[in-house]
Amino acid sequence: MKPTNREQFVTPPTGEAPPLLRELFGNPFRPVTVDPSWLTSTVNALAEGIYAYRAFDRMPILADALQDAACDNDEVLAHCRGPGSHVRGCFVVDLLLGKA
């Protein structure tokens, strides 16, 4: 049976954190810090647009912009490009906007 939208956030595979927790907080054992060089005008504009309009379909584009800005953090890039739903409070977007 395919999980409902709610279940994909709260019902993890065995041994993993619930997806919503990962979405909001990332990996608590490997906190991410933002390198100021990542905060280009393109990255800022994308992050602001994603946050303001809940345009989470732009997350892979944000990953590309971060990579262009020399972001080499695999967790950040994978989170932006990975499957699953995003919500306002996404740890990557909030970090980039200084909301975390």
- Phi, psi dihedrals of residue 11, rounded to the nearest 5°: -110, 95
- Rounded CA-CA distance 6/2 in Å is 11
Six-digit token pair at 54? 């809940």
**pLDDT reported for residue 100:** 78
Q: What is the pLDDT along the chain (100 residues), one digit of tens a residue?
A: 455 555 555 555 556 668 888 899 999 899 999 999 999 999 999 999 999 999 999 999 999 999 999 999 999 999 999 988 899 999 999 999 999 7
Q: What is the pTM of this model?
A: 0.81
CB 18 within 8 A of CB 10: yes
pLDDT at 8: 53
